[in-house]
Amino acid sequence: AQSVTQLGSHVSVSEGALVLLRCNYSSSVPPYLFWYVQYPNQGLQLLLKYTSAATLVKGINDFEAEFKKSETSFHLTKPSAHMSDAAEYFCAVSNNNNDMRFGAGTRLTVKP
């Protein structure tokens, strides 16, 4: 069975600081991995996804994530946080793109 674990339900950073949101996955087959963002009262927006083409995946809004098989990790980073990045972030795993298992989410707060 596939699953993801997001380390840290809340992360707080200062504006301009590095953002690091952690995700570890478990999958018996090579997985597809995703990061989604959710703003209040909205659905999920895809930030980026890993499909085995490249281990460093670049997404929208300067977010990127690196797939590390040896560590079973897919951490999300952004070099410089903006106030508009404050939201909830979800890591997800799938083996077919259509049945995704999500982590519990990490709420990112950006302080001015």
Query: Could you give the residue ranges of the DSSP H alpha helices within the chain?
Result: none
Q: Which is nearer to other proteins, 24 or 102 (CB)?
A: 102
Q: Which is nearer to other proteins, 17 or 44 (CB)?
A: 44
Residue 82, token pair as written in the block? 């903006």
The contact pattern for other proteins, residues 26-45, with x = CB under 8 A and - = no contact, is ------x---x----xxxxx
- Count CB atoms within 10 A of the CB of residue 26: 13
Size of the site for other proteins (CB under 8 A): 24
Q: What are residue 71's phi and psi, to 5 degrees?
A: -105, 0
Using CB under 8 A as the binding rule, whether residue 96 contacts other proteins is answered as yes
